Amino acid sequence: MSIDPVLKPVAEHALLVDFPNPSDMAAAHHRVLALDAALTARPFAGLREAVPALTSLMVEFDPEVCDCTAAATAIRALLSRRDAPQRAIRSHEIAVCYDPPYAPDLAEVARLTGLAPEAVAQSHLAGDYHVALYGFAPGYAYLSGLPAPISLPRKAAALRDVPAGSVIIAAGQCLITTLTMPTGWWIIGRSPDPVLTGDPARPFRFEVGDRIRFRRIAASALGTASGERS
């Protein structure tokens, strides 16, 4: 049984719509995406932006046009509609190289999971990933769907200066880094495919809810980008 969302005012310009369903995160995330699609198709007066996360949606509006009460009324009206629009889910194929020196943690992940390094790579390739949310840094798309055999907790200590394009895993998720930054996740590969687009209208390659599959490439192929399909 679904649980009614909780709407929490955030100052005078936003509402946090929370779908508390700890027993079924996937169902809660589906409701987040459905509301996001409904707001895109039928925006209420004053709506500025909706930012989806794993089990919640931040809805920002112009306080000179709309207030929290009016926004909550509009959101509840959308939630009650039976003709909810369907969000277009795009599929992306992302290249990844597991060869040295681009996968510095692959051997340690293999040791900790009891798998051979090649089996770790094959397990990662077998994952069916979905963009759950963006966070931490620009373009950091947190991908759910990491196979259980290679799901490890974060490292005890972070590593500095991890290059952009690193494919990293931890806590049941996968991520492609977009900046040179420290990380406590396990670095198992490198991708040449940029997540940041440089387009202000669509700054990130993926939308929340999109599907991702990884395709293996050799080190000699780094620098070749792959595509997407609708």
pLDDT digits (tens, 9 = 90+) for 127-172: 999 998 888 888 899 999 999 999 999 999 999 999 999 999 999 9
Q: What is the pLDDT, as a whole number, of residue 22?
A: 62
The whole-chain average pLDDT of the chain stands at: 90
Q: How many domains are there within the chain?
A: 2
Dump pLDDT digits (tens) for 1-24. 456 889 999 989 999 999 886 667
Other Cβ atoms less than 10 A from the Cβ of 13: the count is 18
Enumerate residues 6+ apart whose C-beta is below 8 A from 66: 44, 45, 46, 47, 74
Instruction: Compute the distance between CA of residue 228 and CA of residue 205 in angstroms, rounded to an integer.
Output: 9
Calpha distance 68→110 (Å, rounded) = 50
Collapse the DSSP code of 206 into the 3-class scheme (helix H, G, I; strand E, B; otherwise coil) and give the result: coil
69 occurs within a structural domain: yes
The boundaries of the domain holding residue 67 are: 6-80
Q: Which two tokens stand for residue 149?
A: 């055999």
Same domain, 57 and 140: no
Give the alpha-carbon dihedral of 201, 204, 208, 209, to 10 degrees: 110
Which among 80, 105, 137 is the end of a domain? 80
pLDDT at 3: 66
Instruction: With respect to residue 86, please indicate whether it lies within any of the assigned structural domains.
Output: no
**Segment holding 72, helix H or strand E:** helix 68-80
Please tell me whether residues 200 and 127 are part of one structural domain.
yes
pLDDT per residue as tens digits for the range 183-206:
999 999 999 999 999 888 889 999
Give residue 84's pLDDT band: very low, low, confident or very high (50, 70, 90).
Answer: low
Same domain, 69 and 127: no
Residue 128 lies in a domain: yes
Same structural domain, 47 and 97: no
Q: In this structure, are 100 and 58 located in the same domain?
A: no
Asked whether residue 183 falls in the same domain as residue 161, the answer is yes
pLDDT band (50, 70, 90) for residue 123: very high
Give yes or no: residues 101 and 215 share one domain. yes
CA 72 to chain centre: 26
Of 80, 101, 134, the one marking the end of a domain is: 80
The reply to whether 106 and 61 lie within a common domain is no
Q: Higher confidence at residue 214 or residue 82?
A: 214
Of 182, 207, 211, nearest in space to 197 by CA:
207
The rounded distance, in Å, linking the Cα atoms of 30 and 38 is 12
Domain assignment of residue 1, yes or no: no
Query: What's this model's pTM, rounded to 2 decimal places?
Result: 0.81
Query: Does 147 reside within a domain?
Result: yes
**pLDDT at site 121:** 98
Given 80, 110, 129, which residue is the final one in a domain? 80
Nearest 10 degrees: CA dihedral of 180, 185, 189, 194? -40
